[in-house]
Amino acid sequence: MEGINAKYVSQKISKTRWRPVSSSSLQQPDIFATGSWDNEDNKISIWSIGENGISSMDDEFEGDPQLVCEHKHNGDVLDLQFLDQDRIVTASSTGAVIIFRHHHNSQTLSVSQLWERAHHYPCDNAPCTGIVCNSPEIVTVGEDGRIILFRADQEGVLRTIENADSSTIHAVTFLRTTEILTVNSIGQLKIWDFRQQGNEPSQILSLTGDRVPLHCVDRHPNQQHIVATGGQDGMLCIWDVRQGNMPFSLMEAHSAEMWEVHFHPSNPDHLFSCSEDGSLLHWETSSNSDTPSFLQGGRNTSIVSRSALAPAGGNQSLISSWLTGDSSKGRLETTHMLPSQTLSVNSLDVLGQCL
């Protein structure tokens, strides 16, 4: 990993996300947002790594990320997603769901929409734990076991699935435009289809035996039936939601909770995970692929893992390298990306050549 830049900020950061770049442009990401937690005053902040917000391909990052603007945030930021170039949605520990607008001309942030107690218990607030956006739709999940569907620019709530879960739902991702997948604190993945009227999931997958809480989930960018999850035991699980209700493979990844897992959006043979144990791991499935330049180097503590239970993939014409049953092909290279591992790595995001 070349060009690591470390910056100290005087707040605890819970989440970080790159602002999306248009897929047509070859521009590298240059703006990211962060949210804080467990501070007297929490805030959401926008940072720039480009010189005056412009970075060119051959430009090495020079200097620190610069703070562009920030705004007070009520409660801890438990999740944060860009809805589009200008709007950021946050999940608050107060149960609120908030849309902030970034005004590029004045470089300010303002609250453009607020659903105050979206997640709640009868007499108390329930933290909103996760968000996924597919503009203009926003789906949130919470400690109250609710799933809520919003539409940006509409005041009310489009749909609530009450009692979707008797336990805390920790994270959510879209599988298709009408289908979402949630993970909960008793080790279950549940698939929900918004075309169905009821409050029942269309499918439930789980790890047999231990009900290990799952904290994070990400869907493969090109093959929506493949998802990666991570949880309290630090294991990385790859699932094929079409095949039965067991994970396709299990890898020992971290020695403590895995907080986030992300496929690279345009190079999905690469996956990244971060943990309470202070490590940031880069996983690569294919042994001889051209590694993007930003991933070369790093500490070569490569571990080779094999699929725990790897049935031969069906005869799909395009079998993802995450699902190759042949163990020689299904090898994983794992690289530690941080020089030292002390404090928890709470969040990561990867886009283009920037992590």
The per-residue DSSP string of 208-227 comes to SS--PPEEEEEE-SS-TTEE
Amino acid at 207: L
pLDDT given for residue 238 in this prediction = 94
pLDDT given for residue 28 in this prediction = 84
Task: For residues 119 and 173, give the distance between their C-alpha atoms in angstroms, rounded to a whole number.
Answer: 18
Q: CA-based angle 258:260:262, to the nearest 5?
A: 130
| Tokens representing residue 127 in the block | 């933290």
| Tokens representing residue 96 in the block | 């609120």
What is the pTM assigned to this prediction?
0.87
pLDDT given for residue 153 in this prediction = 86
| Tokens representing residue 224 in the block | 């929506």
Residues of the chain where predicted confidence (pLDDT) is lower than 50: 1, 52-58, 287-289, 291-318, 326-329
pLDDT given for residue 339 in this prediction = 84
| Tokens representing residue 297 in the block | 């180097």
Please name the residues in contact with 39: beta carbons below 8 A apart, sequence gap of 6 or more.
Answer: 11, 12
Sheet holding 31-36, edge to edge: 13-18, 31-36, 42-48, 66-73
pLDDT given for residue 16 in this prediction = 98
pLDDT given for residue 3 in this prediction = 76
Q: What is the pLDDT of residues 90-117, one digit of tens each?
A: 999 999 999 999 999 999 999 999 999 9
Task: For residues 278 and 225, give the distance between their C-alpha atoms in angstroms, rounded to a whole number.
Answer: 30
Task: For residues 346 and 282, give the distance between their C-alpha atoms in angstroms, rounded to a whole number.
Answer: 15
Q: Which helix (H) or strand (E) holds 353?
A: none
pLDDT given for residue 278 in this prediction = 96
pLDDT given for residue 63 in this prediction = 61
